[in-house]
Structure 1
Amino acid sequence: MIVTFTANPALDRTITLGAALRPGEVQTADSVREDAGGKGVNVSRVVAVAGVETIAVLPVAVDDPYGAIVAAAGVPMRAVPVARHVRTNLTIADHEGVTTKINLSGEPLADADAVAVTAAVVEACEGARWLVLAGSLPGGVADSFYVDIAEAVRTRWGGDAPRIAVDTSGPALREVVERGAADLIKPNDEELVELTGLALDEGALADAVHRVARRIVPVRAASALVTLGGAGAVLVTAEGTWFAEAPRIKVASTVGAGDSSLAGYLLAEHAGLAPAVRLQSAIRYGAAAASLPGTQAPTPADLGTGDIAVRSL
């Protein structure tokens, strides 16, 4: 089973335009859709439609309609009643797939609610293979919140604790790396630069990512899946480094593509596949998500069938 925890879930509202966004002008939308968003939720949605057991642990107020939207999306959920309501993220996508995002920070998470969600995550991890800690942190919790949850899970379950993947950024990711709390981190190239303070050579991006990520793996994180958008992704482990280019697709929306990449990687690892094949799976799922409007979860039927070339770095 793959457990996910989204500390700061959101309702994703996506507006699709028939032309490029023109700031300061009035435009008519071609379509509007709403999805239950949040990185962990997105991972669980992909995992669930692939037929692998998952549960999404979420802080959701009893009267918040977000919970019903998650349930309607078919995501197995453990809702922890909290005082705060989820935030709303607005995405504007034009006909070329260019995406503009406006994310709200959301309400703070009360101390008692933080304790409750930590306990719920620990309980949900019984027998799990992976725990995914994903997304930004809400106000009211320390930058070490994901580290604290990881330690609580490992203290409770010992040798039976799940492996822990973390997909976040900024101070929260820095805490995870500095304290060696993750078996897998999934930054994109910009987040890797922010984390390390080291620039990446755009002319040889994969090799630059390899060199920078090697400062982290395996001492401060057991492995790293670094997504590069349309350029592909790099997987760095203690055993080696692999790079795969992304296939050419017509981009509809990039929202959730990185989350789908992580889900694709975990699904392949869950199946016992080799690192290079896990990377191929991550690429396929990320590309499939980017080709779908809104924050839709790609299914196995949505995956491309073309060859994904992988090379060792």
Structure 2
Amino acid sequence: MIYTLTFNPSIDYIVHVKEFKVGEVNRVKKDYKYPGGKGINVSRVLNNLNVKSKALGFIGGFTGEYVKNFLESEGVDTNFISTEGDTRINVKLKANEETEINGSGPDIKEDDLKKLFKKLEKLTSDDFLILAGNVQKSLPIDMYAQIQKKCLNNNVKVIVDATGETLKCTLENNPFLIKPNNDELSDIFDTEINTREEIIYYGRKLSEMGAQNVIVSMASEGALLICNEGVYKASAPKGTVKNSVGSGDSLVAGFIAEYSKTLNVTEAFRWGVASGSATAFSVDLCKSEEVKNLIEQVNITKLS
């Protein structure tokens, strides 16, 4: 089974206005509400690709119920833990420019964590656990590393989609997959990275630090995979970018969806890139047919 974990889910309220004017009444042209959070995005894309997963995490209040009910109405299995306080609302205002107002979310108590750890103890070597997104500031920065350690004895394959110190803390526990983009790679090593050769060099550094598979996404330039079998480049499909949210989560979902069926890392990489691109070219997260329409455009080349 594939499990996703979202510490701080949200309702993403997406609002379109013709021209946003500060200090005035602005009329909405159209609006959408979706459950948000990186792990939740992964579960939704897996569901769209006809691969089952279970969404774990923390929800609270009427907003948390909305997230749970929305996911279950789509067919996503959930096993959330209820917390004090309401699940946050993130407002994404789309006008001549895009503006975001993100809520902070409820604090996670020690008893809440104990409930989570009890669930994770039941995972086995047949399971994947995807740790995606940031945790609340009230929690330790090494929270994902703590979770990994609880999964080591059962050989759970842990995927980490996080940034900065949160990601670096997990490397010693040999995550199955990590997915920084070009800018995040620069931040990790506190250096400017401009060329493909530099991306490969620092991607290999992450591999040497413990990551089993490293995917570095490069937007229109495609993506790189550094793994035990070598270094591979995936070309980016052509299309019109409509959506800046969820393409990285979709890449992770596409990769795990394929790998869980075939155990083929390079083919999984191909499906991941197609899924990420399909979401970028869509209003919401990608659907299976959209991914299949792009898969032939993704060419995998072995660089070394």
Q: Would you say same fold, with TM above 0.5?
A: yes
Q: CA deviation at 1:128?
A: 3.9
Answer with 192-201 or 272-281: which moved more: 272-281
Partner Cα separation in structure 1 for residue 23 and residue 230 of structure 2: 49
Q: CA deviation at 1:27?
A: 5.1
Number of the residue aligned with 1:10: 10
Q: 1:222 to 1:194 in 2, by over 3 A?
A: same
Number of the residue aligned with 1:247: 237
Q: 1:25 to 1:299 in 2, by over 3 A?
A: same
Alpha carbons 2:222, 2:234 under 8 Å: kept: yes
The answer to whether the aligner puts 1:141 opposite 2:139 as a matched pair is: yes
Alpha carbons 1:3, 1:128 under 8 Å: kept: no
Q: RCO (CA 8 Å, sep 6+): is it higher in 1 or 2?
A: 1
1:146-204 deviation line (CA, Å, top 9, x unaligned): 1111111223x2xxx32110001122112112x33411111111111111112111xx3
1:87-131 deviation line (CA, Å, top 9, x unaligned): 222223458xx75433333232112212222222333x2464311
Number of the residue aligned with 1:302: 290
Alpha carbons 2:61, 2:85 under 8 Å: kept: no
The answer to whether the aligner puts 1:174 opposite 2:173 as a matched pair is: no
Q: Aligned to 1:43, what secondary structure does the other structure show? A: helix
Number of the residue aligned with 1:266: 256
Equivalences, count: 299
**Which amino acid is the alignment partner of residue 133 of structure 1?**
L
Answer with 60-69 or 135-144: which moved more: 60-69
Q: Any residues of structure 2 matched to 1:68-83 within 5 Å, and which?
A: 68-83=69-84
Identity rate of aligned residues, in percent? 24
Runs of 4+ in 1 over 6 A off after TM superposition: 21-26
Partner Cα separation in structure 1 for residue 272 and residue 22 of structure 2: 34
**Which amino acid is the alignment partner of residue 49 of structure 2?**
A
Partner Cα separation in structure 1 for residue 287 and residue 16 of structure 2: 22
Q: 1:264 to 1:220 in 2, by over 3 A?
A: same
Alpha carbons 2:37, 2:133 under 8 Å: kept: yes
Number of the residue aligned with 2:105: 106
Number of the residue aligned with 2:151: 153
Number of the residue aligned with 2:129: 131
Number of the residue aligned with 1:184: 177
**Which amino acid is the alignment partner of residue 198 of structure 1?**
T
Alpha carbons 2:39, 2:131 under 8 Å: kept: yes
Q: Any residues of structure 2 matched to 1:18-29 within 5 Å, and which?
A: 28-29=27-28
1:28-52 deviation line (CA, Å, top 9, x unaligned): 4432101111111111111122222
Number of the residue aligned with 2:156: 162
Alpha carbons 2:182, 2:218 under 8 Å: kept: yes
Partner Cα separation in structure 1 for residue 247 and residue 152 of structure 2: 29
Q: CA deviation at 1:82?
A: 1.7
Q: CA deviation at 1:288?
A: 1.0
Q: TM-score w.r.t. structure 2 length?
A: 0.89
Number of the residue aligned with 1:116: 115
Number of the residue aligned with 2:218: 228
Partner Cα separation in structure 2 for residue 18 and residue 251 of structure 1: 19
1:5-48 deviation line (CA, Å, top 9, x unaligned): 111111111123457x6777765443210111111111111112
Alpha carbons 1:40, 1:135 under 8 Å: kept: yes
Q: 1:116 to 1:140 in 2, by over 3 A?
A: farther
5+ residue gaps, structure 1: none
Alpha carbons 2:212, 2:228 under 8 Å: kept: yes
Q: CA deviation at 1:57?
A: 0.7
Partner Cα separation in structure 1 for residue 72 and residue 139 of structure 2: 27
**Which amino acid is the alignment partner of residue 262 of structure 1?**
V
Q: Any residues of structure 2 matched to 1:191-206 within 5 Å, and which?
A: 191-201=184-194, 204=195, 206=196
Q: 1:61 to 1:131 in 2, by over 3 A?
A: same
Partner Cα separation in structure 2 for residue 102 and residue 278 of structure 1: 34
Q: 1:17 to 1:143 in 2, by over 3 A?
A: same
Q: TM-score w.r.t. structure 1 length?
A: 0.87
Q: Aligned to 1:270, what secondary structure does the other structure show? A: helix
Partner Cα separation in structure 2 for residue 62 and residue 154 of structure 1: 33
